[in-house]
Structure 1
Amino acid sequence: MPAVPALAHAADLADFVAASPSSFHAAAAVAQRLTDAGFAPLDETRAWPVEAGGRYVVVRDGAVIAWIVPTDAGPLTPVRVFGAHSDSPALKLKPQPTTGRYGWLQAGVEIYGGPLLNSWLDRELRLAGRLVLDDGSVVLAATGPLLRLPQLAIHLDREANDHLALHKQQQTQPVWGLGAADSADLLAELAAAAGVDAARIRGYDVVTTDTARGAVFGKDDVFFASGRLDDLASVHAGVTALAAAGTDAGHIAMLAVFDHEEVGSASRSGAAGPFLQDVLERIQVGLGADLEQQLRALAASWCISSDVGHSVHPNYPDRHDPAVLPVLGSGPILKLNANQRYATDAAGAAAWHAWCAAAGVASQEFVSNNAVPCGSTIGPITATRLGIRTVDAGIPILSMHSARELAGTADLLALRRVAEAFFRG
């Protein structure tokens, strides 16, 4: 049975996920936790202080970068970056989102990322995201349970259990009411949730998300199920670890939460964009570093790219490597791939195991079955952009990209403890 700290951490993660139904809400939730911990918010259009202490900047979509400048910081002070991402696969509202036919109100959506579409069936869904108003201001909006994607009854498709596959246009449009499409306005529901006039909305980025709260369950409470564990489990581990870090580490402790990982990271707020490099350069210049000193500092720096990976699935063992079989509850995973889909190398593996040992945490390894190539994540992108030594790691889960994913309760706290050891140095 997980210890009380692990259960408390899981309960706090459930709160964090509930407060983070979209990437924009996740960035705001991170900012609020950092503010509560004494971090100061910064504006990219203004000069930044360089004195010791914690700071963060949230300006780019659902991305946020936070850091602690140590008391002895100088031009050659290295950085330790714990990276994660705030977005998850979802259904995203299209332009003219109020649709419907045959007496049903429906939402016009497109597919964001690579969700397991059948997992979105027969769930109460909410809408969440940002609204941009006529004066350029941005407000966050999140409804209560509003939509549902109803599955066709077995009586009308006797072979559904043999070949369930949803047409991405025709069969993924949720229902949210009854009546003609011109009798209602889906954006008005969002505006009401945000407390603004719907006529003022000029733009929006809004996704669907599961309304069910994260929960611990199973024999001895070993499981934790929730939406958006990919990758809010890592974001939560990183922000809780950074909030507890001090100013005496001898390096700059940094949390970098990116948006748009699920669609390739190629955006101004994604890992392939300039956000992290911009922040690092401004910090280093503020500390008096010239170009050579900036490069020397980066050469002495580290990044942990933390994203979820696959646990061995007991019903599909043939999809996994036959020898490397990570399982829930046995610790975070170190992710390796010969084709650089993950950035971990031998030096990174040694460093990872040292941080785990310092944290008193057991670790597992993950590598793909040769016939089932793995995806990628922010680690190789960050290493490519900055030349910084990078380790890809995370926690093992099942049901990745489902509307509701499954983790090991103990692994969640273990990842945070590794992040804390990483920040301590």
Structure 2
Amino acid sequence: MSKEEGTHAVVSDLINFLNASPTAFHAVDEAKKQLQAAGYQQISEKEVWELKAGHKYFFTRNHSTIVAFAVGKRYVAGNGFHIVGAHTDSPSLKLKPVSKVVKGGILEVGVQTYGGGLWHTWFDRDLTVAGRVILKRENAGSVSYSHRLVRIEEPIMRVPTLAIHLDRGVNDGFKVNTQTHLLPILATSLKAEVNKVSSENGSVESGKQNDGKKENDKTGSSNTKHHPILLQLLASKLECEPDDICDFELQACDTQPSLIAGAAKEFVFSGRLDNLCMSFCSLKALIDATSSDSNLEEEPGIRMVALFDHEECGSNSAQGAGSPVVLDALSRITYSFSPNSKLLEKAVQKSFLVSADMAHALHPNYMDRHEENHQPKLHGGLVIKQNANQRYATNAVTSFIFREIASKHNLPVQDFVVRNDMACGSTIGPILASGIGIRTVDVGAPQLSMHSIREMCAVDDVKYSYEHFKAFFQEFSLLDANIVVDI
């Protein structure tokens, strides 16, 4: 296979992953399918783990975070973990617990902003909804409740902009009011069936039912919280009745598919590249680096990928990087091979984390936003991020290790530090480095339009990222054995 064919194959797989993953829940579900197809066994945090050297496992938490690992055949308790960490979530508009809004004869959907999105990019897009629901099932007198993923493929909503004739100064600066401007339009109340259920259930605009009670006082039925037409669309997709839907976590999603684009077919145009691109590349790298028994024959450590939810809002959740999920995994794996509680601390100090989160490529229309010596370019390979104030967890040792792996495999790398007069973002890297005490390097593929509903990156950087992560899994144990820092 030629280099160009190899790049196309990896990027095509990324496109398929992106199109299957409108939400963090769907991304984890797609990751599960790929891991199971590669021979990884699902285990549960609720059960006792009985692990074996040379075997491959994964578990999920909240179905929005997933941790997969392969145990080297030469692994013994106290050996290190070689981890690539990324995140499954992206900025989005999430439906409110009470999403039913009626104004001016228009049915709107109440949403709340999640993460730091470029919210003006959500206007005039063809939107739908996806996420998970909790379903009630009755069978032979017993009731059970299940988690189900749902996605309505066709466009059902839109956030329209105001015509320039009604806002002549809009091109001098458009400031989005996220409370009042961002409500998607679902339908009008002119249609007979929609108008019927709307009049029967009252409207949020009036805030009253026909009996004079406030609508929000009636919490026993989902129909008082959400538009019946929306519930019916969901029920039809799930092949259930609207009343079977007990609760849900849904978000607005763009319906335009991800694709390879550009005049030279050199770009990926897609939503959620931050950070599903890094999630995919790390997952594929782990699967391919553990695809046969021979891959783990001489491996003394654990090869692991951890994909977290809630990075975009600070990682402070039961399934975020700020939770004990990684430390729990490290301790349970270590203890499953030895009851010696002192070996975990040893394992942590022999471990290494690659915090993989997309990076800011140089924008040709805003050259001044990067300083001259740190201008990551598209097609330039993974970017090593550094920040003296520890917004990134990279240091000289961890940077050297990652560069040395790249050098051995002829992979390009780039450097980034933010300008001194600009605020610096952060990643899961410092959270895990400080919470666990693990050596960490922060890296990411360069992209443009970060946090837009529609982002872009270069196809070459997808291939470079995959190859770099795969080489990390294959090379780290040997390289680390020759590095002396703390004696």
TM-score normalised to structure 1 length = 0.97
Alignment partner, residue 222 of structure 1? 266
Are 1:108 and 2:116 counterparts? no
Alignment partner, residue 237 of structure 1? 281
* Structure 1 residue identity aligned to 2:198: D
In terms of mean alpha carbon deviation, does 274-283 or 286-295 score higher? 286-295
Alignment partner, residue 138 of structure 1? 147
Question: Shift of residue 333 of structure 1?
Answer: 0.4
Are 1:125 and 2:127 counterparts? yes
Counterparts of 1:192 and 1:244, CA distance in 2: 39
Q: Is the Cα contact below 8 Å between 1:142 and 1:194 reproduced in 2?
A: no
Counterparts of 2:338 and 2:66, CA distance in 1: 24
Alignment partner, residue 306 of structure 1? 356
Name the larger-Rg structure. Answer: 2
* Structure 1 residue identity aligned to 2:309: D
Q: Is the Cα contact below 8 Å between 1:358 and 1:421 reproduced in 2?
A: no
Q: Deviations over 1:48-103 (max 9, x none)?
A: 22112111001324100000011121112210010000000000000121222222
SS in 1 for 2:264: helix
Q: Is the Cα contact below 8 Å between 1:75 and 1:289 reproduced in 2?
A: no
In terms of mean alpha carbon deviation, does 371-380 or 42-51 score higher? 42-51
Question: Shift of residue 228 of structure 1?
Answer: 0.3
SS in 2 for 1:244: helix
Number of corresponding residues: 425
Alignment partner, residue 7 of structure 1? 8
In the TM superposition, structure 1's runs of 4+ consecutive aligned residues that sit over 6 Å from their partners are none
Alignment partner, residue 376 of structure 1? 426
Counterparts of 1:2 and 1:225, CA distance in 2: 21
Alignment partner, residue 38 of structure 1? 39
SS in 1 for 2:98: strand
Counterparts of 1:358 and 1:286, CA distance in 2: 35
Question: Shift of residue 361 of structure 1?
Answer: 1.1
SS in 2 for 1:76: coil
* Structure 2 residue identity aligned to 1:138: H
Alignment partner, residue 95 of structure 2? 93
The 5-angstrom pairing of residues 184-199 of structure 1 reads 184-185=227-228, 186-199=230-243
Alignment partner, residue 216 of structure 2? none
Counterparts of 1:289 and 1:148, CA distance in 2: 57
Are 1:328 and 2:330 counterparts? no
Counterparts of 1:287 and 1:407, CA distance in 2: 42
Counterparts of 1:30 and 1:358, CA distance in 2: 29
Alignment partner, residue 154 of structure 1? 164
Aligned residue among 172, 180, 190 for 1:170: 180
Aligned residue among 215, 229, 244 for 1:200: 244
Are 1:398 and 2:408 counterparts? no
In terms of mean alpha carbon deviation, does 185-194 or 357-366 score higher? 185-194
Which 5+ residue runs of structure 2 have no aligned equivalent? Answer: 137-143, 190-194, 200-226, 291-295, 476-487
Alignment partner, residue 21 of structure 1? 22
* Structure 2 residue identity aligned to 1:231: N
Alignment partner, residue 267 of structure 1? 317
Which 5+ residue runs of structure 1 have no aligned equivalent? Answer: none
Name the Cα RMSD after superposition: 1.6
Question: Shift of residue 165 of structure 1?
Answer: 1.3
Question: Shift of residue 367 of structure 1?
Answer: 0.8
* Structure 1 residue identity aligned to 2:44: D
Are 1:422 and 2:472 counterparts? yes
Question: Shift of residue 190 of structure 1?
Answer: 2.3
Q: Is the Cα contact below 8 Å between 1:76 and 1:289 reproduced in 2?
A: no
Q: Deviations over 1:17-47 (max 9, x none)?
A: 1111110111111011000111011111112
* Structure 1 residue identity aligned to 2:158: R
Q: Deviations over 1:323-376 (max 9, x none)?
A: 211111111100111110000000011011012123331000111011111111
Q: Is the Cα contact below 8 Å between 2:271 and 2:454 reproduced in 1?
A: yes
Counterparts of 2:253 and 2:276, CA distance in 1: 13
Alignment partner, residue 287 of structure 1? 337
Q: Is the Cα contact below 8 Å between 1:2 and 1:410 reproduced in 2?
A: no
Counterparts of 1:148 and 1:18, CA distance in 2: 20
Q: Deviations over 1:390-421 (max 9, x none)?
A: 01001011100000111011001110111101
TM-score normalised to structure 2 length = 0.85
Q: Is the Cα contact below 8 Å between 1:2 and 1:221 reproduced in 2?
A: no
Q: Is the Cα contact below 8 Å between 2:29 and 2:63 reproduced in 1?
A: no
Alignment partner, residue 67 of structure 2? 65
Q: Is the Cα contact below 8 Å between 2:76 and 2:300 reproduced in 1?
A: no
Counterparts of 1:56 and 1:298, CA distance in 2: 20
Counterparts of 1:340 and 1:289, CA distance in 2: 35
SS in 2 for 1:291: coil
Counterparts of 1:331 and 1:148, CA distance in 2: 36
Question: What is the percentage of aligned positions where both structures have the same residue?
Answer: 36
Question: Shift of residue 257 of structure 1?
Answer: 0.4
SS in 2 for 1:111: strand
Q: Is the Cα contact below 8 Å between 1:271 and 1:382 reproduced in 2?
A: yes
Counterparts of 1:312 and 1:378, CA distance in 2: 23
Cα gap change, 1:2 to 1:168, in 2 (>3 Å): farther
* Structure 2 residue identity aligned to 1:56: F
